[in-house]
Chain A
Amino acid sequence: DAKTTQPPSMDCAEGRAANLPCNHSTISGNEYVYWYRQIHSQGPQYIIHGLKNNETNEMASLIITEDRKSSTLILPHATLRDTAVYYCIGSYSGGGADGLTFGKGTHLIIQP
């Protein structure tokens, strides 16, 4: 899996967009970018993934730079329940049969 770098923590006001950055300068051409989050005392939860194009689902949007060296996860209207640790992961197969390598992630704190 590609090495990723994320800020250890971030704050965001409730109702605003939360933009979480991730650097993955060594990602190879066929490695996907995956985002998971882990709410306190729960297992990680899949959010979104992408290869080259920007992606959007009901939870978030993923913006990947053209050179694929970085990406941003966007939570458009953050709520208090979005307070969690967010993990950015580069991987060929996602869950697949090999698992994923989770780093330390970004602890996002949504402020009321």
Chain B
Amino acid sequence: DVKVTQSSRYLVKRTGEKVFLECVQDMDHENMFWYRQDPGLGLRLIYFSYDVKMKEKGDIPEGYSVSREKKERFSLILESASTNQTSMYLCASSPTLPAALNTGELFFGEGSRLTVL
């Protein structure tokens, strides 16, 4: 089975701290994604990456950066955490396949719930 592992299920940080959220996938997928999920707003895409060292902004990149030094690992960085970044963060991955084989499936981790005090 595909496994997407997020390093921490629950984190509590203070305003102004630098926060790293780590995500590792074991299926050699090219594409990786970071979403945040808030009540009433659904999932929103923060950043994604389609290759090592490549990154693209999603819908809400402000206040975040990412790092993809290795294919299996995609890190989300909050340079200076703020209370409005309290949220559930979800990492996902997907393979790049020929159109005829592409199911369009994203594989998600279990999420990291971050609280910024």
- Complex contacts, A46 vs chain B, CB 8 Å: 103-107
Give how many A-B residue pairs fall within 8 Å (CB-CB): 77
Determine if B45 and A93 form an interchain contact, defined as CB atoms under 8 angstroms apart: no
Range class of the A interface residue count = 20 to 34
A46 to B105, CA, bound (A): 6
Query: For the complex, what is the distance from the CA of A43 to the CA of B2, rounded to whole Å?
Result: 13
B contacts with A, residue count (CB < 8 A) = 29
Q: Using known A-B contacts A42-B110, A97-B48, A98-B48, determine if residue A91 contacts B104 with beta carbons closer than 8 Å.
A: yes
Q: Does B111 contact A96, Cβ atoms closer than 8 Å?
A: no
CB within 8 Å for A104 and B94 given contacts A49-B104, A94-B102: no
How many Å lie between the Cα of A103 and that of B31 in the bound state?
Answer: 21
* Chain A residues in 8 Å Cβ range of B107: 46
Q: Which residues of B contact A (CB under 8 A)?
A: 4, 30-31, 33, 35, 40-45, 48, 50, 58-59, 90, 92, 94, 96, 102-111
